[in-house]
Amino acid sequence: MQFLIITGMSGAGKSLCVKYFEDIGYFCVDNLPPSLIPKFAEVILQGKPNIEKIALIVDIRGGAMFLDLMPALDTLSGMGIKYKILFLDAADKVLIKRFKETRRMHLLSQDGRVADGISEERRILQPVKEKANYIIDTSNLIPRQLKEEIVNLFLEGKTFKGLIVSIVSFGFKYGIPMDCDLVFDVRFIPNPYYIPNLKPKTGLDAEVADYVMSFSESKTFLNKLVDMVDFLLPLYVKEGKSHLVIGIGCTGGKHRSVTIATELFGKLKELEISAVAEHRDIERDDKGASS
C-alpha cells in the first residue's frame, strides 16, 4: 500500500495536487483531521475498502488539530505502515501574489496581513517539512508542469534527487527570464533561421533539431552542459535549494534554444533528474529578426 501525506504552504498548489493524484489512481481525502489518520489507515488495512494508493491532504485549515499530525505519524510507524510526505512550497512573494489574486485572507493573519500569516504558517510547518520525503517548490511551475512532476515522481517511479530543474528556452530580443538561476547563450551555433525550409519551423521539429545538432560544437556544448548540471545539482541540494531554473537563449527563441533545451531535458531525464521544459518564446512572431 502506498500511503502519502500531502501538506505544505497555503497557496502552494495542494488543491491542484488532489486532482492530479486522482488522475493517477490515488484515493484522496482532503482535510482529514490528523488524529483520525491512524483509524483511517486501520480501516484500509482491514480491506474495507480495498485501496492500494492513498493520498491524505493535511494542512493548517484544521487549525489546532494540525498539531496532532506528528503524533499521528508516529502511530502509523508503530502500526508498521510506511508512509511518505510530499511538501508543497513557494516563495513568500509568490504566495502573497496568489492570495491577492484570489482576494482570500490567510487563515493565520490575525491583523489581516497575508505576510504575517505566511510567516506563522512556515514556523508551524517547519517540523513536517524537515520530515518530508519530497519537496516541490511551485513558485515557477504552471499547472501543467506541476502535474508532469507529480506523474514523474509517483507514477513513473523516477528517482527524486531533492531538486526540480526547469529548463526555459527564450529569445534574447524578448529579454532574459527574470527567474533564471543559470543562463546560457547558444547564439554561437549556426542559425537555422537562414535556411529557407527551416525558417518557419521550430526546434521541436525534427528537421531543425537535426540541423542544430549536426554541428560538433552543439554536441560538445550539450555534453559539457549536462556534466556541469549533474555536478552542480548535489551542491545546490546541499545548500537547501529545491528548484533550479536554467535559461537557454538564442536570438528569437524558436530554433537553437528550443533544440538545446529539449536535448538537455532528455539528457536529464535519462539521468533520472526531475526536470520540466518550457519554451517561452516559441510562438512569438519573429519577423525582421533572426532566431
Which strand (E) or helix (H) includes residue 231? helix 216-238
- Could you tell me if residue 159 is inside a domain? no
Q: Average pLDDT, stretch 36-45?
A: 88
Q: What is the pLDDT of residue 158?
A: 46
d(CA 268, CA 277): 11
Burial 134-156 (b: 16+ CB within 10 A, else e): bbbbbbbbeeebbbbbbebbbee
**6, 114: one domain:** yes
pLDDT above 60: residue 288: no
Last residue of a domain, one of 154, 183, 204: 154
Do residues 236 and 200 share a domain? yes
pLDDT of amino acid 110: 65
More confident residue, 40 or 291: 40
User: How large is the average pLDDT for residues 69-93?
Assistant: 91
DSSP 132-173: -SEEEE-TT--HHHHHHHHHHHHTS-PPP-S-EEEEEEEEGG
Residue 74 binned pLDDT confidence (cut-offs 50, 70, 90): very high
Sheet containing strand 27-30, edge to edge, reads 27-30, 53-57, 2-8, 83-89, 134-137
Band of residue 160 on the pLDDT scale cut at 50, 70, 90: very low
Least confident range from 184-193, 205-214, 216-225, 232-241: namely 232-241
| In a shared domain, residues 6 and 149 | yes
**In a domain? residue 288:** no
Do 232 and 275 reside in the same domain of the chain? yes
Shared domain for 134 and 186, answered yes or no, is no
Query: Could you tell me if residue 192 is inside a domain?
Result: yes
Task: Sheet with 182-185: list strands edge to edge.
Answer: 182-185, 243-250, 164-171, 275-279
- Is residue 284 included in any domain, yes or no? no
Q: What local confidence, expressed as pLDDT, does residue 240 receive? A: 63
**pLDDT band at residue 63, thresholds of 50, 70 and 90?**
confident
Q: Please determine, for residue 18, whether its predicted confidence score (pLDDT) is greater than 60.
A: yes
Domain membership of residue 25 as a residue range: 2-154
- What distance in Å separates the CA atoms of residue 129 and residue 188, rounded to the nearest whole number? 43
Q: Which of 154, 187, 213 is the last residue of a domain?
A: 154
Verify that 146 and 194 share a domain, yes or no: no
Residue at 40 is within a domain = yes
Q: Which of 75-79, 152-156, 166-170, 252-256 has the lowest mean pLDDT?
A: 152-156
| 95-113 per-position pLDDT tens digit | 888 887 877 777 777 666 8
* Residue 190: pLDDT band with limits 50, 70, 90: very high
Q: Worst-scoring range by mean pLDDT, 66-75, 102-111, 233-242?
A: 102-111
Q: Are residues 90 and 199 in the same domain?
A: no
CB atoms within 10 A of CB 160: 18
**Which residue did the predictor score with more confidence, 215 or 53?**
215
Number of structural domains (the chain) is 2
Average pLDDT value for the chain: 87
* Residue 230 maps to a domain: yes
pLDDT for 1 equals 72
Q: How many CB atoms lie within 10 A of CB 270?
A: 9
197 and 229 share a domain? yes
Regarding whether 150 and 7 lie in a shared domain, the answer is: yes
128 and 206 in a single domain? The answer is no
Last residue of a domain, one of 121, 154, 187: 154
Domain match, 182 and 120 both: no
Range of lowest pLDDT (67-76, 134-143, 281-290)? 281-290
CATH classification at residue 49: 3.40.50.300
Q: Which three cell numbers stand for residue 148?
A: 508532469
Backbone φ and ψ for 184, nearest 5 degrees, come out as: -125, 135
Decide if 286 is inside a domain.
no
Task: State the pLDDT at residue 111.
Answer: 67
- Is 201 in the same domain as 113? no
For residue 289, being part of any structural domain is answered with no
